[in-house]
Amino acid sequence: MRYRVAIIGAGIVGTSIARVLSRYENLDIHVIEKNPDVGWGVSKANTGLIHGGYDDDPDKYPLRAKLCIRGNEIWHRWVKELEIPHVWNGALVVALRDEDIKELEVLRRRGERNGVEGLRIISRKELLDMEPLLTPDAKAALFVPNAGQLSPVPAVIALAENSVSNGVKFHLATEVRKIGVKNGAVRWLETNRGRIDADIIINASGLYADSISRMLGIGYFTITPRKGEYLIFDEGIPAPSRILFPTPTPKSKGVVVTKEIGGHLMIGPNAQDLDRKDKENFATTLEGLKEVRDKAKKLWPRIPENGVIRSFAGLRPEPTGGDFIIRSEELWGFLNVAGIRSPGLTSAPAIAYHVRDLLIHELDVKLVEKKKWNPYRKDILRISRMSKNQASSLIGKRPQYGRIVCRCNLVTEGEVMEAIERMRYIGVPQPSIDSVKFRTKATGGTCQGSFCRPKIAWLLAREYEVPLWKVTLKGEGSELGIGDIKVLLRGDGK
Ligand SMILES: Cc1cc2nc3c(=O)[nH]c(=O)nc-3n(C[C@H](O)[C@H](O)[C@H](O)COP(=O)(O)OP(=O)(O)OC[C@H]3O[C@@H](n4cnc5c(N)ncnc54)[C@H](O)[C@@H]3O)c2cc1C
């Protein structure tokens, strides 16, 4: 039997589910996303860590504890298959007071119970040998060798591209507004772009999972935004080689000090609960950033007063009860994959297999594997990673790769053009600078786009055949211009 599956939300969770389900012959998979590109929800602004799996208490949060370690293991394979920028650099949970050392023991035992291998408490001396610029106040640390980092939005893009190559259809800039039910089962979605039929609906809509669930009268949980703010520093400012955590609090894993995947020192996040309805409040605050800086300094005293190139904030989707909510609801065909707060990025691949198992065991769907399924996806060509010989041979064949667009991150016109091709491949309907940024790293360096943004806008306008002013920074409402201002001079309204 064939099933039409609609996944609401193209974040790391929705796209992981799409990839895993794309392996089956008898599923037609549709991903519905209200933003014009993938990965622009919670998955866009986070720390990007692939956690080790020691932090989640299996008695309190059994799904988080189980899926984090499993997700960590799967990511080791997926980053290679999908060529996702990543690093497996390990983490150190640092005790700053003698009494914190007991907490490290608790974490080590919990990690071992969760199945994490290689956890080890290391002495002050070994710690300072590993990270000589760490605060001399450090007493000891838990070493977590399996932890790592990846770029979250490029990961979502990679999953989306791979899913499309395996037959998944993305509906971007498409907002789910209602869900249709008939004879005790879900039947269709109503969106701003019309109706999409579905036998199975998977709610992976991040911060809005409670609203989507309530469309069907299922209201046993709420999602509350918990804000976390960050600072990223300029090149050349020393950063640790491993991920540094303080000992955690019940509310959060604490302010992290790390070198983000682009090579810059990054500190954050703090944790501030917002009002339940305040789900679009991504503003950074003076107090929040000060808190981040003060806390990070306790681990890494060499945080400079200047040299910040970017600040940003993300919102954790905190669910009632604290654990992930992943279940098939009584209404046939409706699955909630809700409250996917941290470690959701880490857990996403395991969540996807868990959802597949719910289809098999709870919905009794007989899945038929495809004879041919493509596990691979290639990253775009990047001049910055090539040797001089490779680069000049490529430029000889394709001169666009010789025209530099972003000086800070050495991104060429050829790369921007490939990014635009790939945006079209998954169906990005409108040109935006951020879509290019997440695919190429252009605008992400020291000058944050002052030099390259106009050039990228011009290429987007040409390729999408829209006037230059209609190119957006990040979707509708962020257009670069205000329109044809010459109309005012002409006075003819044309
Ligand atoms: C500050 C912070 C730090 C974090 N750090 C880490 C970390 O280091 N490691 C880790 O493992 N996890 C971390 N997390 C958690 C991780 O980021 C999330 O668990 C994960 O990104 C959630 O992904 P998602 O796909 O469920 O949600 P999202 O990425 O939000 O995807 C849901 C999508 O649904 C779409 N949507 C919503 N409503 C509708 C609708 N009506 N119609 C159509 N589409 C809709 C949204 O636009 C969105 O794109 C962190 C989170 C935060 C906020």
Q: Are residues 174 and 209 in the same domain?
A: yes
Mutate to test the pocket of ligand 1, among 19, 42, 84, 438 (most ligand atoms within 8 A of CB): 42
Which CATH number is 246's domain given? 3.30.9.10
Looking at the fold, whether 191 and 329 belong to one and the same domain comes out as yes
Average pLDDT value for residue range 370-386:
96
Task: Take atom 2 of ligand 1 and give the residue whose Cα is closest.
Answer: 46
pLDDT of residue 445: 87
Give the C-alpha distances (Å, rounded to integers) separating 396 from 379, 381, 382, 383, 392.
21, 15, 15, 13, 6
pTM metric for this prediction: 0.97
In tens, the pLDDT along 118-149 reads: 999 999 999 999 999 999 999 999 999 999 99
For ligand 1, atom 3, the nearest C-alpha belongs to 46
Residue 59 is part of a domain; what is its CATH number? 3.50.50.60
Average pLDDT of the chain, as a whole number = 96
Instruction: Say if 488 falls within a structural domain.
Output: no
Based on the fold, state whether residues 231 and 139 are members of the same structural domain: yes
Query: Which residues are catalytic, by number?
Result: 51
What would the pLDDT profile of 173-229 be if each residue is shown by its tens digit?
A: 999 999 999 999 999 999 999 999 999 999 999 999 999 999 999 999 999 999 999
Q: How far is the CA of 330 from the centre of ligand 1 (A)?
A: 25
Report if residue 493 sits inside a domain.
Answer: no
Residues 405 and 257 in one domain: no
Q: Are residues 296 and 212 in the same domain?
A: no
Q: Are residues 463 and 388 in the same domain?
A: yes
- Residue that is last in its domain, among 250, 278, 310: 310
Ligand 1 atom at minimal distance to the Cα of residue 175: 42
Q: Is residue 476 part of a domain?
A: no
User: Which residue range(s) make up the domain with 444?
Assistant: 383-470
Q: Which of 361, 379, 397 is the last residue of a domain?
A: 379
Name 266's bridge partners. Answer: 232, 258
CATH (domain of 449):
1.10.10
pLDDT digits (tens, 9 = 90+) for 391-415: 999 999 999 999 999 999 999 999 9
Domain count, the chain: 3
Indicate whether 478 belongs to any domain. no
Same domain, yes or no: 276 and 344: no
Distance between CA 203 and CA 35 in Å, rounded? 16
Q: How sure is the predictor about 86, in pLDDT bands with cuts at 50, 70 and 90?
A: very high
Contact predicate 294/337, CB 8 Å = no
Neighbours of 348 (CB within 10 A): 31
| 109 C-alpha to ligand 1 centroid (Å) | 29
Q: Which of 379, 396, 430 is the last residue of a domain?
A: 379
